[in-house]
Amino acid sequence: MMSLISSAGAVAFMLLMTDRIGFPLPFTLVVGIPIWFVGLVVCFGICFGSKMKEEQSLRNELLNYIVVIACQVVLTFIYPLYLYGFRSISSTAQTFYVLLLPVIKIATKNWISFFLGTKDDLKPQVVILNIEVFNALYVASSMQNATSISTTMALTFVDFVLAWISINDVNQFLVGISRLLRKIPVGHPLKTADFVDVALQILEDDAILRESLSLRSFTCRLPEAIVDQPPKVHDSIGSGTREVEGTSRQLFASASTANASLDSFVSTAAAVAPYIQPESRALRRIFTAKERREYVQRTAQVLFTTEFIILIEFTEVIIPFIYSTYVISMFQLPNWVYYPQIRSLDGIALAKMIGNVAVYGLMELLSFIAMSIILRRKLAISSLHQLAFVLDREWRMVQSNLFLWICYTIQNSLDHNGADFSWKFTWLHSKAD
């Protein structure tokens, strides 16, 4: 209801401004945002004002998230301005101009990440499904208008550098993990286990550590019915049935992949290995309390970082192909003449334009495959499993953001929306004359 009221107010304001200024109203889709936002805040205050007065922390969280939303609004100006500049320069200049994209992306990522604070389980979805989707859409738009293969190569090189930095971060975390793993004596049941299984055992042994880490959780909580009634897991040789503790299902709460890792690795290990008494697996005598905490935190950081990497790669793969499909479909419609990016094209020119985007998409697909293989070899866990978990658990956010930003990016260029970044607004002057 709050969204309906605020949206109705925004539409009414846009209609009023159109009547006063003229049609198309300059930057129609952006003009209504302030009214929509104010309406949403007012409705929220009416419904939850008393609660916010009582809790300072709640007010602070709300203000921080307002800043996060403001960043998304700013994106609707920054990227179209970037694309207007890209189309206005020569092919040689485009090769260097395109390097502004990663600068914009990194700055806005840090903006959102800073104001989300310790809510780390929100960061992959909020950051990537807004910043990365928006960035990938405008990269696709840039490739559509690129007149030189060097522009594509420049973007690919930038992606390679950023991927290398991400892998280097993972390696740094693994150094600390490997150092601690070497302390496990030969003959211990976990000596040959992967690093996640060791972290799970540490948390199973240390209830205090498990509880302290769960304090960083925000949204990645399982329903109480599921947590209170943990599943029973059978071992592979029929030596009995054991329960996985419900509290341990919220491991690594600082990253949403933590929950997936816990569920999948506990279940998988139990399914393929004989049941070992907990006493023989205990690590309390091997690691100090500080080392146990360090190990679990580094494991969470690895999972958190790999989730970021694989989500970014996935986004960069799908967006060019979704964008191309959308443009091809739009070209078949009778109103295609109202879209500046395609109205001057014929079938051959459209095919060439889509070819530029497809080449970039194929290069990103190769990058995605290579990154998945590298992470698999380094971590012995499936990055595709992490990706599937996020897409399944956060499908509402995934679908809503893809739909919102793809439609906004393409529909914003429609003549009827008045997105003229030359700031000339010639149609208003012609009507005045």
The number of folded domains in the chain is 2
Q: Residue 235: its pLDDT value, please?
A: 39
Q: Which residues pair with 243 in a beta bridge?
A: 232
Q: Is the pLDDT confidence value at 249 over 80?
A: no
Q: 63-101 pLDDT, tens per residue? A: 888 888 888 888 888 887 887 888 788 878 887 888 888
> Which of the four pLDDT bands, split at 50, 70 and 90, describes residue 213?
low
Same structural domain, 23 and 137: yes
Who contacts 282 (Cβ-Cβ below 8 Å, separation ≥6)? 201, 205
Can you give the pTM of this predicted structure? 0.72
Q: 149-192 pLDDT, tens per residue? A: 777 778 778 888 888 888 888 898 899 899 989 988 888 888 88
Q: Residue 169 domain-assigned?
A: no
> The tokens of 354 are what?
């889509």
Q: Three-state SS across 143-211?
A: HHHCCCHHHHHHHHHHHHHHHHHHHHHHHHHHHHHHHHHCCCCCCCCCCCCCHHHHHHHHHHHCHHHHH
Q: 233: helix, coil or strand? A: strand
Same structural domain, 365 and 382: yes
**Residue/partner pairs of 220-224 with CB below 8 Å, 24 or more apart:** 220/121, 220/250, 220/253, 220/256, 220/258, 220/259, 220/393, 221/250, 222/249, 222/250, 222/259
**Domain final position from 297, 324, 355:** 297
263 phi and psi angles, rounded to 5 deg? -60, -50
> Which of the four pLDDT bands, split at 50, 70 and 90, describes residue 266?
very low
Q: Residue 433: its pLDDT value, please?
A: 57
| Interval 204-216 mean pLDDT | 71
Percent of the chain residues past pLDDT 70, beyond the cut = 82
Same structural domain, 377 and 415: yes
Q: Residue 161 domain-assigned?
A: no
Who contacts 343 (Cβ-Cβ below 8 Å, separation ≥6)? 336, 337
- Specify whether the CB–CB gap between 415 and 340 falls below 8 A: yes
Instruction: Classify residue 273 by its DSSP letter.
Output: S
**Domain final position from 273, 297, 321:** 297
**Which among 270, 294, 276, 264 is positioned nearest to 386, based on CA atoms?**
264
Q: Residue 308 domain-assigned?
A: yes
Same structural domain, 101 and 130: yes
Q: 16-51 pLDDT, tens per residue? A: 999 989 888 888 888 888 888 888 888 888 888 888
Same structural domain, 222 and 254: yes
Q: Residue 253 domain-assigned?
A: yes
Give CA–CA dist 162/124, Å, rounded. 16
Q: Which residues pair with 242 in a beta bridge?
A: 233
User: Range of 262's domain?
Assistant: 176-297
Q: Residue 168 domain-assigned?
A: no
**Which range, 73-77, 301-305, 406-410, has the best average confidence (pLDDT)?**
301-305
CB atoms within 10 A of CB 198: 24
Q: Residue 12: its pLDDT value, please?
A: 93
Q: 309-341 pLDDT, tens per residue? A: 888 889 889 888 988 888 899 899 888 888 887
Same structural domain, 214 and 333: no
pLDDT mean across residues, the chain? 77
Same structural domain, 307 and 390: yes
Q: Residue 167 domain-assigned?
A: no
Same structural domain, 139 and 58: yes
Q: Residue 163 domain-assigned?
A: no
CB atoms within 10 A of CB 338: 15
Same structural domain, 137 and 221: no
**Domain final position from 297, 322, 349:** 297
Give CA–CA dist 431/433, Å, rounded. 5
Peptide bond into 24 cis (omega under 30): yes
Same structural domain, 17 and 108: yes
Q: Residue 208 domain-assigned?
A: yes
| Interval 101-127 mean pLDDT | 83
Same structural domain, 362 and 383: yes
**Which among 73, 71, 50 is positioned nearest to 116, based on CA atoms?**
71
Same structural domain, 217 and 271: yes
